[in-house]
Amino acid sequence: MRRRVFIASFLATAILSFGGFVSEHMSLAASAQEKPASTAEVKIDNFSFGPAAIKVPVGTTVTWINRDDIPHTVVSTEKVFKSKVLDTDEKFSYTFTKPGEYPYFCSIHPKMTGKVVVQ
Amino acid sequence: MAGNTKDEIVHDHNHDGIDRRGFLKCMAWAGTGAFCVMQGGVLKSYSMSRMGEMIPESMKGELSFVQISDSHMGFNKAANPDVAATLKAAVDKINALPAPPEFLLHTGDISHLSKPEEFDGVEQILKSASAKDVFYVPGEHDVLNDDGKQYLDRFAKGAQPGGWYSFEKKGVHFVGLVNVMNLKAGGLGTLGREQLEWLEKDVKHLKSSTPIIVFAHIPLWAVYPEWGWGTEDSAQALSYLKKFGSVTVLNGHIHQTMQKVEGNVTFHTACSTAFPQPKPGEAPSPGPMKVPAEQLRSVLGITDVSYVRGQHALGVVDSTLA
């Protein structure tokens, strides 16, 4: 009998949490519908970022992909973001939530520089 | 350097537009290092791929060692899918020297991605070299992701906290410098204030007749700043060495040999044991130079012979200090 009570309370908790999850999920979906998520890609090739400068709206997720034979990194000059080393075909993404200019460079080959302008 | 092609080994290329010949010549050096010998306080450096041409008597001196560089263990792309094999080839050449060198200098980019197994691989292969002591400096590929912690733990025991150090061998003062840390956006290699202050103190007490050999990964002279081939504050470092009659600077990083004499200082860069890079400005980027896979082995295999008869573009680096 004791066990049955325990199970019942567990189920109730589970249902409540699930309900919470659903409502949270729904609200996320709703906001996503209002404002579709924006994405942009920067290709790393021939020891350069292409395009070297991009303009994106707030909320954009920028993905860098390394198409070079040599590893590179994507490191914000102002320490806003920092990728691990990216070997050939590896990717790094960062979502820009605030407007501003974000200069960055490859910390292995610092002559490689780029900029994301978030509006 | 201008107008003095003897001093800059790579100047002697065949003007055939594309860089294939230069590339093949450099491949002659793939898997090799440079044999260095001090004779009367002057450092002479020989390509290990042309050892057959050397007269053993002329290679004797007070002290000899071998510089190897840019092993890039872990690299497996088209330019050289088997960098372990080319490093082993370098060790075979070292072991075939008529007199074993006292030690090896590795001027960085030991690994390709700073992975423990890559460092292990190089250490394992170098264990079979006749010279047991290896002195390292890090390349930018050795300090990825962890600010060099792994490199420092492994290769910089007894060094200063930042990884730089000096030692004496038979009256020659060796200085290993680190110029691949804390690189700034848009900049070149960097030594930094702390290291420069240490260097100034380190050489201050030495007699001006002491031969000095400085080794670091990125060239300490402006080879080609557009590709980052230089060190921001190298002039400051060299200013501390002005009083010495014999200064030699050994670097890696650019995967090709170059030499330059400036006053009392001779600069050398070594080839990679892994893959060549283009000459400064002769390609859109400094990426690895490739040939079709089936050609690579034959190029590696025959060049020792072919280029014995060739021009001296990447041949013997046999220089005296001014």
pLDDT digits (tens, 9 = 90+) for B122-167: 999 999 999 989 999 999 999 998 999 999 999 999 999 999 999 9
Q: What angle do CA B251, B255, B261 make, to 5 degrees?
A: 45
Tokens of B212: 């000095």
Other Cβ atoms less than 10 A from the Cβ of A8: the count is: 10
Mean pLDDT, range B192-219, rounded to an integer: 96
The answer to whether the Cβ–Cβ distance between B287 and A107 falls below 8 Å is: no
> How far apart are alpha carbons B221 and B219 in whole angstroms?
5
The pair of structure tokens assigned to A116 is 């994301």
Pairing of strands B34-39, B42-47: antiparallel
Q: Which is nearest to B231 in space by CA: B140, B160, B152?
A: B140
Q: Are B118 and A71 in contact (CB under 8 A)?
A: no
Q: What is the DSSP letter of B229?
A: B
Residues, chain B, total?
322
Q: pLDDT value at position B8?
A: 31
| Residue at B3: amino acid letter | G
Is there a contact between B144 and A77 if contact means CB atoms under 8 Å apart?
Answer: no
Q: What is the mean pLDDT of chain A?
A: 81
Point out which residues pair with B174 in neighbouring strands: B167, B213
Residue B178 half-sphere exposure toward CB, CA atoms < 13 A = 27
How many whole angstroms from its chain centre is CA B186? 24
Cβ of B144 within 8 Å of Cβ of A71? The answer is yes
Q: What is the arithmetic mean of pLDDT over A47-62?
A: 97
* Chain B residues touching A68 at Cβ < 8 A: 285, 287
Stretch among A2-16, B66-80, B273-287 having the lowest mean pLDDT: A2-16
Give the residue from B101, B119, B100, B102 showing the smallest Cα distance to B110: B119
* Whole-angstrom distance, CA of residue B169 vs CA of residue B61: 13
Nearest CA in chain B to A82: B145
Assign B155 to helix, strand or coil.
helix
Q: In this predicted structure, what is the pLDDT of residue B291?
A: 55
Q: Say how far apart CA A23 and CA A80 lie, in whole Å.
A: 32
Question: How far apart (Å, rounded) are the C-alpha atoms in residues B41 and B62?
Answer: 8
More confident residue, B268 or A103: A103
The CATH architecture one would assign to domain A39-118 is: Sandwich (2.60)
ipTM exceeding 0.85, yes/no: no
Label the pairing between strands B165-169 and B172-176.
Answer: antiparallel
CATH class belonging to B9-306: alpha beta
Query: Using CB atoms, which residue from A46, A73, A110 is nearest to B284?
Result: A46
pLDDT mean over B170-189: 94
Determine the residue of chain B that is closest to A77 in CA distance.
B185
DSSP for residue B9: G
Q: Which residue has the higher pLDDT, A86 or B270?
A: A86
Q: Quickly state the pLDDT bin for B287 (edges 50, 70, 90).
A: confident
Q: Which residues of A touch B73 (CB under 8 A)?
A: none
The candidate with the shortest Cα–Cα distance to B65, out of B102, B18, B114, is: B102
pLDDT at B15: 34
Whether residue A85 contacts residue B111, with contact meaning beta carbons closer than 8 Å, is answered with no
Using CA atoms, how far apart are residues B216 and B231, in angstroms rounded to an integer?
10
Q: Flag whether residue A83 sits within 8 Å of chain B, measured between CB atoms.
A: no
What's the CA gap between B239 and B182, in Å, rounded? 22
> Does B20 have pLDDT greater than 50?
no
Of A48, A77, A103, the CB nearest to B285: A48
What's the whole-number mean pLDDT along residues B94-114? Answer: 90
Q: How buried is residue B44: exposed, middle or buried, by Cβ count under 10 Å (0-12/13-18/19+)?
A: buried
Does residue B293 have a pLDDT over 60? Answer: no
Contacts of A77 in chain B (CB under 8 A): 185
Confidence of residue B186 (pLDDT cuts 50, 70, 90): very high
With H, G, I as helix, E, B as strand and everything else as coil, classify residue B188: coil
Q: Smallest CA–CA separation between B65 and chain A, in Å? A: 29
CA distance A85 to chain B (A): 7
Across B46-74, average pLDDT: 80
Pick B99 or B95 by higher pLDDT: B95
Q: Is B220 helix (H, G, I), strand (E, B) or coil?
A: coil
Chain B interface test: which of A44, A46, A69 (most B C-beta within 10 Å): A69
DSSP secondary structure letters along A54-110: EEE-TTPEEEEEE-SSS-B--EETTSS-B---B-TT-EEEEE--S-EEEEEE-SSST
Residue with tokens 């420092």: B152
Burial class (CB within 10 angstroms; exposed 0-12, middle 13-18, buried 19+) of B242? exposed
H or E stretch at B190: none
